[in-house]
Amino acid sequence: MRDVAVIGVGLSAWGEVWKQSLRDLITEAAVNAVDDAGVEKLDAMFIGCMSGGLFAGQEHIGALAADYLGMGPIPATRTESACASAGTAFRTGLMAVASGYHDVVLAGGVEKMTDVDGGATTRALAAAADQEYEAYHGVTFPGLYAMMAVAHMAKYGTTREQLAMVAVKNHRNGAMNPHGQSPFEVTLEQVLTATRVADPLRILDCSPVTDGAAAAILCPLDMVSRFTKSQAIRVTGSGQATDTIALHQRKDICAIESAALAAKVAYDMAGVGPGDIDFAEVHDCFTIAEIMVTEALGFCEQGQGGKAVEAGETALDGRIPINTSGGLKSKGHPVGATGIAQIHEIVTQLRGNAGGRQVKDAKRGLAQNMGGTGASSTVHILEVI
C-alpha cells in the first residue's frame, strides 16, 4: 500500500443556503478543494450523500458531481453510510489511492436538507434507523439517542448538566469559526430550558438541519512535491466498523462499539494510541453522542465522558480538545458532508490556520464520523509531515 496525503480541502456555503442547490453546493466545495490543492485534473471522485433522494429527489450523485465540476468522464461514485457517508467517501478515496488504482482523487460529501419541511426531514433522517422495528413505532433519531442518554445517565451517573456542557463548549469553539451555521455562544441555562425534543434531549442538544458540502483532494505521499500550492497533510490511520442496525440488538446501549473498533484499527495503522492525539473532531449529532464517543475513542474511561467535559478536559485549552470547529452542534450537520467537513477542520488545524480556535502545537488530529446510532463509524488520523 502507498502512503497517502491530503493536498487540498474545501467547503461550500454552509447553513440554510436557500440560493444554492445540491449540485451548486458540491460543485462549490469541489472547486475550492481543487483550487486549494492546485491540481489540474482528477482521476476519480467519491461523493458521500445520505439521502439525495428523500431530501432533494436526486440520486446518482457521483455522476452529477463529476458532470458539474467539469471532470467527466472520470469515474465518480456515491458512498452512503447514513451520517457517515462522507467518512466512507474519504476512506474509499484513501483506499483507491493507497492501492495504486488512482493517483489524484477527490473525496467529498454533500447534503441539501432545507428544500423539504421539518416532518419530511425527520422522516428522511429516520431512514438511517431500522425502518420496520424502530421507525415503524414512531421512534425518531433524537428519540434513539435520548434512550441512549437515559441509559448512560442511569448506569454511569452522567448528568443533564454534563450533556448541556457539551453544547456550551462546542458553541464556544464554534463562535470562533467564521464558517459555522450557528457561530454564537449559548449558556448552560439556555440549553437546559430550550424546547424539549425527546426527553431528556432539548433542541440545543441536537445538531441543526444544514445545507452544505465539503471536499478533500488525496494523492500518494511521494507525489506531494508536485503540488506545492498548500501544505500537504499525511493520512496515517483509517478504520471503519459496523454494528447492529437496531438499538435493541446491541450488546451494550451505553457504548458505541463501532467507534471503538474503527479507532483501534486506525490507531494500530498509525502506530499511536489515544494519548498521542492532540485534538479530535467527533460526531456530536447529539450532546450524548459526543460523551459516548469520547469514551469509545479512549480519551477517557468508559462512563467518564460526562465528567471529562465537566472538568474541561475536552475544552479548547484542555487535555484533549474536542470539536474545535464547533462540531456538528454549532458548525452545522449536512449529514452526507459532515465526515469531510471534519477532515477540513483537522487539516486547517494542522496547517495552523484555525485562528482564534487554533490548538497549540497541533501535530496529530483524529476525525470520527458516525451513521445511525453507531451502526457505522469511520475514524481517520492525520499528521503533519
Partner 1 sequence: MGLTTARYWREVPQRYRMEAGECTACGEIHFPPRRICMKCGKQKFETVVLPDTGKVITWTVIRVAPDEFTDLSPYAVCLVELENGVRLMSQLVDVDLDEIEMGLPVKIEFRRIREDGADGVLFYGYKVVPA
Residues that bind partner 1 (CB under 8 A): 118-120, 122-123, 126, 132-140, 142-143, 146-148, 150-151, 154, 196-201, 244, 246-249, 253
Question: Residue 95 or residue 150: which is nearer to partner 1 going by CB?
Answer: 150
The CA distance from 52 to 60, in Å, is 8
**Which grid cell is 208?**
441543526
What's the closest the beta carbon of residue 226 comes to partner 1, in angstroms? Answer: 48
Question: Residue 169 or residue 202: which is nearer to partner 1 going by CB?
Answer: 202
What's the closest the beta carbon of residue 140 comes to partner 1, in angstroms? Answer: 6
Active-site residue, from 171, 283, 333, 380: 333
- Encode 246-269: b = buried (16+ Cβ within 10 Å), e = exposed: bbeebeebbbbbbbbbbbbbbbeb
What's the closest the beta carbon of residue 151 comes to partner 1, in angstroms? Answer: 4
What's the closest the beta carbon of residue 179 comes to partner 1, in angstroms? Answer: 27
Q: Would you tell me how many other CB atoms lie within 10 Å of the CB of residue 41?
A: 9
What's the closest the beta carbon of residue 295 comes to partner 1, in angstroms? Answer: 17
What's the closest the beta carbon of residue 144 comes to partner 1, in angstroms? Answer: 8
Catalytic (active site) residue 283: no
Question: Residue 20 or residue 140: which is nearer to partner 1 going by CB?
Answer: 140
The CA distance from 383 to 107, in Å, is 18
The CA distance from 254 to 155, in Å, is 8
Q: Are 337 and 48 in contact (CB under 8 A)?
A: yes
DSSP string covering 65-110, please? HHHHTT-TTS-EEEE-BTBTHHHHHHHHHHHHHHTTS-SSEEEEEE
Question: DSSP letter at 276?
Answer: G
Which residues have a Cβ under 8 Å from the Cβ of 178 and sit 6 or more positions away? 355
Question: Residue 99 or residue 193: which is nearer to partner 1 going by CB?
Answer: 193
Catalytic (active site) residue 219: no
Query: Residue 330: what are its φ and ψ, rounded to 5°?
Result: -100, -40
Question: Residue 27 or residue 210: which is nearer to partner 1 going by CB?
Answer: 210
Active-site residue, from 83, 206, 285, 300: 83
Tally helices (H) and strands (E) across the chain: 13, 11
Q: Are 96 and 90 in contact (CB under 8 A)?
A: no
Question: Residue 197 or residue 241: which is nearer to partner 1 going by CB?
Answer: 197
Write the single-letter amino acid at 108.
G
The CA distance from 244 to 261, in Å, is 14
Catalytic residues: 83, 333
